[in-house]
Structures are given as structure tokens and as C-alpha cells.
Structure 1
Amino acid sequence: MNKLEKYILNGATIRQGPHQGETGATSNVTKTKDVTQRTGNGQAHSAALENSFSHLKQSLCDPAPKSSAEAFRCKLCPVDWLSHGRKCYWVSKEIKDWKGSQEDCTAKRSQMLMIQDWNEMEFIGSATQGPCWIGLHFSSPERKWTWLNNSSFDAKLFPVAGPAKENSCGMIKGSQIRSEICSADFKWICQKDGVFL
């Protein structure tokens, strides 16, 4: 059972941020809990759950284009997070050093931003103002830039401006990645996968 199913079965309130001029949409799905308790039947439980998903999609999601096989498919992000592609992004309003930024993302059950392509780079560049920490650091024994998850960094795709030396961390400013001393204070960006309905 996934997290969304648990929320539905427990009668949780699911929120999605402002959408098309609205101040926020809230759907209370406690009816599913009542139906499930009364039936005790696996098929009735599945039907009630499917009915709740259908209601959530209609209430919270934009209709997909008519050519799409999956009408009302959408991605949910936490309140105050930005949505793009398959990810959700959170941009801080305060400043911290790189380590403190990493700890904050972990506390939000996310990770610091790891940019994968130019489409994502352009989105982040337009969504942020000023420099922000990302999940990139210079590892001194290997003398190379590495993402936090230890995946390799493509320096040909994203050249890093500035010196690469011990205690250097990556930050983004506009559509450029720059090297900065890790103890400097900047805003930061966290990322997590969206929940698809």
C-alpha cells in the first residue's frame, strides 16, 4: 500500500497549491474510510479506493489533452514546492552554508538539486533569483566534481565557472553552475519526485 492509499484510508486531507487563479484546492476523502469499514469485502474495498482516486484526479488535476491515453493524470507536489517534469522543487528563502543546506533538504525528506539536462537547468534558472546551492561538490582525492548521490557530473554539459579546489561546492546562478567555498552562505534548492495520480 503506497502513502497516498494510506492517506485515503485514514481520511486525510490532501492539498494542492494554487491552480488557475484559485487559492488552493482541498479534498476531504473520509467517505472512503466509512465505505471500507462497512464492506469488509476486498472487491468493495478496491472499488471504493478506485472511486476515491477518480474523485481526486477530477478535483485536483487538469484534464490531459484528448490525444492522451491517461485523462486526468497529474503529479502532486507538497505545498510551496514548484512542479516541473517528474520532480518537485523547493527554493529556500533563508541562507545557509552548503552542509546546512544539505541537512535541511534531508529533513524535508528530499535531496539537494542534481540537474540532469538543459531543460531542467533553464527551468531552475528562471525560477530562482540569485545564487543557490545545489547538490554538487568537489571531491579532493579524486579531484573531480560529483553529485551527492555519487553519480558522475558531466562537465561538458555543464561547465563549472571558477576554481575547483578542496572545499569547493556547486551553486547555480541563472543558467550557470559556479564553484564557491562550501562555508559561504546562500539560498539552496531541494528536489524530490512528485506523486503521480
Structure 2
Amino acid sequence: MLHLPSLMDAPVLYAELNLAKTRGLRCTSPPSLSQVGFLVHKSPIEKCSVAVQENRTEPTGRSAILECPRDWHPHWDKCLFISQTSRTWAEGLSDCSLRGATLLLIRDGEELRLLQDFSKGKGQQFYIGLKYVQVDKVWKWMNGSILNTNILQITGKDEENSCALISHGEVFSDSCSSDNHWICQKMLRHV
């Protein structure tokens, strides 16, 4: 069984949400990047969509317990699945999709550091949901967002068929055809 010291040793947090009186959501413009550093740029529409998905309650008005599926590991509001095999980036993406998930999207520097600490303990590198798009000449996350290079730098070549890997010391580019482990993510589910 896989042991994730950085991710598993943290206590699981359960929260009671009382959203019954919420009539609607107000979506505002995102804060400027000088105020908040994100690795993923999201438009106001994407942020609103996420907020709507997160504000679900059970019809009975009871609070919902959030938990990860079996063999997944809680990490903040996400569940992470660590592959036990090495395959290409596309095969990792396909495996995540079959699990109802996507390759990992890193939100900020704190999450990046935690994942790098985890990979240091494993001595491995992992594909994440970041790929170089030759036509646009930019790194894009699986959700279509452009990488904020002020927060995260990719070492290695920016060329066609380059995918990002996270290791203990860096995030670097490698051929998407190389065999590596990968990390899938999905949001915590209501049970």
C-alpha cells in the first residue's frame, strides 16, 4: 500500500455547510495578480462555475460529509491518485479520465511545495496536467488556463510534444512520449 507522509498524515477535516438561505451567487472580478499569486489563470466565468458546483447541499438540508474514494488521498479540497505504473502523458491523462478525474492542476506556490516535498520522499517524478502548446507557444493547464510563469518556471525545452513533470526540486519539461508516473485529481465528493 502506498504511504503518503505529506498528504496522509494531515488530519481529515469535515465541515458543516449551511447554505440553505443562499439565493444566488455573486461573481466578482478576480483580484489582481499582484494581490494573489495563482499558477492557473481563471476567467470570472470559470470562477463562478466552480463556486456554483461547490455550493450544493443535500435536499434534506443536512450537512454533507466530504471524502475521497478508496485508494485516493485527501489534499485540501481535492482527492489525489498516485499511479503505480509508468506510462506516457496521454496514457496517464486517459487513466485519470477513466477514474472521473484529470491530471493534477497546481493552484499556488504552497501546493507546489507540498507536492515537491512528497515527490522527494518517493524519489520519483510525476506528470501533471500541464502541456506545451506549440501553436500558441505557451504552457497550458488541462482546463485551458495559461501557466503563470511569474509563479512557476518550467525548466527544460519549450517545444512540441513537451509535458510537465514535478520532481522534488523542480517542474521540468520532458517528452510526452516518455514513461513516467502521474497524479490524478478530483474534487472531494459529498457522501
Q: TM-score, normalised by structure 1?
A: 0.62
Matched, 1:195 2:173: no
- Name the counterpart of 1:181: 175
Q: Would the aligned equivalents of 1:136 and 1:146 in 2 still touch at CA under 8 Å?
A: yes
Q: 2:164 aligns with which of 170, 176, 193?
A: 170
The structure number with the bigger radius of gyration is 1
- Name the counterpart of 2:125: 131
Q: Specify the SS of the correspondent of 1:146.
A: strand
- Name the counterpart of 1:39: none
Q: Distance in 2 between matches of 1:123 and 1:90?
A: 15
1:79-137 Cα offsets, whole Å, 9 max, x none, are 11111111110110100000000000000000000101122112222333211000100
Q: Would the aligned equivalents of 2:118 and 2:168 in 1 still touch at CA under 8 Å?
A: no
Shift of 1:196: 4.5
Q: Would the aligned equivalents of 1:139 and 1:145 in 2 still touch at CA under 8 Å?
A: yes
4+ aligned runs moved over 4 Å, structure 1: none
Name the structure, 1 or 2, with higher relative contact order (CA <8 Å, separation 6+): 2
Q: Would the aligned equivalents of 1:122 and 1:175 in 2 still touch at CA under 8 Å?
A: no
Which residues of 2 match residues 59-138 of structure 1 at below 5 A? Answer: 75-128=66-119, 129=122, 130-138=124-132
Code of the residue aligned with 2:175 in structure 1: it is I
Q: Against the structure 1 CA distance between its residues 183 and 81, is the aligned structure 2 distance closer, same or farther, given a 3 Å change threshold?
A: same
Q: Distance in 1 between matches of 2:9 and 2:110?
A: 23
Q: Would the aligned equivalents of 1:171 and 1:179 in 2 still touch at CA under 8 Å?
A: yes
Count residues in correspondence: 133
Shift of 1:148: 1.1
Higher strand share: 1
Unpaired runs of 5+ in structure 2?
1-7, 11-58
1:2-42 Cα offsets, whole Å, 9 max, x none, are xxxxxxxxxxxxxxxx999xxxxxxxxxxxxxxxxxxxxxx
Q: Would the aligned equivalents of 1:121 and 1:175 in 2 still touch at CA under 8 Å?
A: no
Higher helix share: 1
Q: Would the aligned equivalents of 2:116 and 2:168 in 1 still touch at CA under 8 Å?
A: yes
Unpaired runs of 5+ in structure 1?
1-17, 21-45, 54-72
Shift of 1:195: 1.9
Q: Would the aligned equivalents of 1:136 and 1:169 in 2 still touch at CA under 8 Å?
A: yes
* Identical columns (%): 28
* Greater mean alpha carbon deviation, residues 125-134 or residues 177-186: 125-134
